[in-house]
Amino acid sequence: MKADDVIDLLRAKYPLPAFALLEQVADGTGARHYRWADALVMGVWPSRGYNLLGFEVKISRSDWLNELRKPAKADALMKYCNGWYLAVSDEKIVQPGELPETWGLMAAKGGRMAIVKEAPKLAPQPFTPELVASILRNVLVSDKAALDRARAEGEQTGHENSRAAKKLKELSEEVAAFELASGIKINQYCDGKELGEAVHVVRSTRWLNLDGAINTAKRVAEELERLRSVNLIQKLANESKDALESKDALHG
């Protein structure tokens, strides 16, 4: 599981339009920023409360142990939040007793983010101009990135549609040529399997020795004609014999 996957699960847990989630928010802009939150989530409906939650995302135990070596790192943004969570891909990343008292814990379970330990309620400080500037910049950058992605996807879809239209045109032309040459309307032909078999037979004749087949047919016809002539002569001979025998019988 990647960090982006954990963020996606957080988006699912805190969906628009009731919540706003921003990634990688610093405590200031320009040279006046020192720490980052992997994510900030704020409720934007009065019924949900205007609470700001901060998230530190970890996907490995080694990453979490590095975080523990600098426990004050999160304070730069935690001080503005109503609650602070460690969001992990696996609950086993955090061992018992390691989580700071002011932190809550969420873990990926069954395709969603589940609260393992509720974050204690904090007393947030008022937003500073530096933090507001950082949030606004994050929003603008995120919107621009989303717009760029949408524009790129639109261009890609346009290219794919253009290629598909070209292929459809070429296919239509091939079908029209076939219908003109064969006298068969594809959309009116009831048995496509039968048509395919007939085309296969015709195409297969390319490999036959047609000259040899024609010569064989001629020889068969000549032999039949010869046999018919022999039969005719035999019939005439038999009739002549019968006539002579009848004449002899009358004179006798």
pLDDT along the chain (252 residues), means of 10: 94 94 87 79 89 95 91 88 96 94 96 96 93 86 55 61 75 74 65 67 61 70 72 72 66 62
- Domain count along the chain: 2
Task: Give the pLDDT score at 5.
Answer: 96
Same domain, 152 and 120: no
Same domain, 17 and 85: yes
Last residue of a domain, one of 79, 98, 126: 126
Query: What is the spatial distance between Cα 143 and Cα 141, in angstroms, rounded to a whole number?
Result: 5
Same domain, 12 and 78: yes
Residue 155 lies in a domain: yes
The residues with which 52 forms a beta bridge, in sequence order, are 42
Task: Give the pLDDT score at 1.
Answer: 87
Same domain, 11 and 116: yes
Task: Give the pLDDT score at 192.
Answer: 63
Comparing CA positions, the residue from 33, 30, 54, 24 lying closest to residue 42 is 54
* Edge-first strand listing for the sheet containing 83-88: 19-26, 36-43, 52-58, 83-88, 104-109, 112-117
Same domain, 114 and 163: no
Per the structure, the complete domain to which residue 146 belongs is given by 127-189
Task: Give the pLDDT score at 251.
Answer: 64
Residue 225 lies in a domain: no
- Does the pTM surpass 0.85? The reply is no
Task: Give the pLDDT score at 155.
Answer: 58
Same domain, 118 and 152: no
Residue whose entry in the numeric block shows the structure tokens 């005439």: 236
Query: What is the spatial distance between Cα 76 and Cα 69, in angstroms, rounded to a whole number?
Result: 16
* C-beta pairs of 33-37 under 8 Å, 24+ apart in sequence: 33/130, 33/134, 34/76, 35/73, 35/74, 35/75, 35/76, 35/77, 36/77, 37/74, 37/77
Task: Give the pLDDT score at 56.
Answer: 95
Single-letter amino acid, residue 15: P
Comparing CA positions, the residue from 34, 127, 44, 38 lying closest to residue 84 is 38
